[in-house]
Amino acid sequence: MAENKSDLTFESVKIGDPLGPSEFHLSKDQVRAYARTTGMWVPRFTDDEAARKEGLPGMITPGNMSLAILSKLVTDWIGASGAQLTRMGTTYRQPVLPDHAITLQGFVTDKNESNHTAEMDIWLENEDGERLVIGTATVHFPR
Amino acid sequence: MSTTLDLHSHSEASEDSRAPLEAYLNWLKLRSTERPVDGIVLTEHRQFNQNADYRALEDKFGMLVLKASEVETDYGHVLVFGVTEEMTRRFDFANVRLPAQEVIDEIARMGGAAIPCHPGRPNVGLCEHYTKKPPLENVIAVEVLNGGSRKGEDERSEALVQQYGYRAIGGSDSHLVSLIGLCATRFDAEIRTTEDLVRELRGGAYEPVDFRPRRKPVPQAIAVEVK
């Protein structure tokens, strides 16, 4: 496993290397700030009561914000290595509720010598270990 | 000699998975201490590829790869083991409202085994349907351990088993490479073929096994509000 982000190279990356885990608290105000900034100021992302009227358990995190949070897991892993996140695909299994602890995690699952890329699984889970958003990403390393 | 198989997995042939079979097998080889399985069963959604041949990968990794299918019925999702051409002619596997009782009875008559999966899951599991409709007959087993279960789902499945006397299997329901083999089924007998698997599911001795890591408690988070 590459010990230092600046040391991360295609050759140093091994199948099984972890990304994270990274834990943090996602606050309602952070979600509101994202909704305001991205022009998504709709009740389900900003107000518990209004979200409940839509049948949701409370205000939820926009899918794009979950995607952005997960992309940071990958870009933090890439660091200053010069590698690039070239693809991400995600599946939303359950709403991500703010005001909870979130854990981001992933693993390198494959390497492609000809493309100089690494494939990785990534996911976002809650305090109960439920994987709310799962996905895969591809990172390209410079030759 | 016993055999441990992950009975529920999805490769990139399923529309919601990007996991190549070779990467699954490589991952299991890497994690053989934590997830000691002898092979996997590919249960692609609503389809069955009669012609797929995985013998080269089986030889490369020394693992068993068998084929089955996960179909959708009016009682939720069902794993079909021992799929034959007769079965795919009898049922349109792409139909998301297959009649569950017919699937269970007809698959058994044609030599296979149909086993409801993740029964504790809302909407697509047996438990919720049993609150609205009569229980199915001739169910031989249900999937009690599912690697994708949310909080409480496996417990609901276990309660179902206790109530109806079903037998229990386990599978990862993996859609990602790194989640393969988290749950599996340990058979007393040696299994080398699909015929062996169906025979054991119908009359052999087996139990679900859980290889999910015990979760460390997450420290109490401190909310920092953005002003």
Q: Tell me what pLDDT residue B216 has.
A: 60
Percent of chain A with pLDDT over 70: 96
Beta carbons of B148 and A131 less than 8 Å apart: yes
Q: Tell me what pLDDT residue B227 has.
A: 45
Q: Does A68 reside within a domain? A: yes
Radius of gyration of chain A (CA): 17
Q: Does A117 reside within a domain? A: yes
Q: Across residues B192-203, what is the average pLDDT? A: 98
A103 vs B18, B218, B227: nearest CB:
B218
Q: Across residues A72-91, what is the average pLDDT? A: 96
Angle (deg, nearest 10), helices A28-37 and A63-78: 100
**Closest CA in chain B for residue A18:** B178
Q: Tell me what pLDDT residue B214 has.
A: 77
What is the least distance, in Å, from the CA of B205 to any CA of chain A? 31
Q: Does A43 reside within a domain? A: no
- The alpha helices in A79-143, defined as continuous H runs, are none
pLDDT tens sequence across B89-128 = 999 999 999 999 999 999 999 999 999 999 999 999 999 9
- CB-based contact, A33 to chain B, within 8 Å: yes
CA count, 13 A, side-chain hemisphere, B40: 32
Q: Across residues A67-96, what is the average pLDDT? A: 96
Q: Tell me what pLDDT residue A2 has.
A: 54
Give A7's pLDDT tier (boundaries 50, 70, 90).
confident
Q: Say if residue A141's pLDDT is above 60.
A: yes
Q: Say if residue A95's pLDDT is above 60.
A: yes
Q: Does A48 reside within a domain? A: no
The answer to whether B200 and B163 have CB atoms below 8 angstroms apart is no
Q: What is the identity of the amino acid at A98?
A: P
pLDDT tens sequence across B157-195 = 999 999 999 999 999 999 999 999 999 999 999 999 999
- φ, ψ dihedrals at A57, nearest 5°: -70, -10
Domains in chain B and their CATH numbers? 3-210 (3.20.20.140)
Average pLDDT, chain B: 95
What domain count does chain A have?
1
Peptide bond into A21 cis (omega under 30): yes
The complex's ipTM? 0.90
Give B226's pLDDT tier (boundaries 50, 70, 90).
very low
CB contacts < 8 A, A to B, total 66
Beta carbons of B175 and A134 less than 8 Å apart: yes
- Nearest 5°: the CA angle B168, B173, B176 is 155
- CB-based contact, A37 to chain B, within 8 Å: no
Q: Which domain holds residue A120?
A: 5-9+16-26+61-140
- Which two three-digit tokens encode residue A119? 């494939």
Look-up: residue for tokens 């608290």? A25
Beta carbons of A25 and B148 less than 8 Å apart: no
Q: Does A32 reside within a domain? A: no
Query: Taking CB atoms and an 8 Å cutoff, what residues of chain A touch B10?
Result: none
d(CA B162, CA B166): 7
Nearest residue to B143 (alpha-carbon basis) of B209, B222, B189 = B209
Q: Does A78 reside within a domain? A: yes
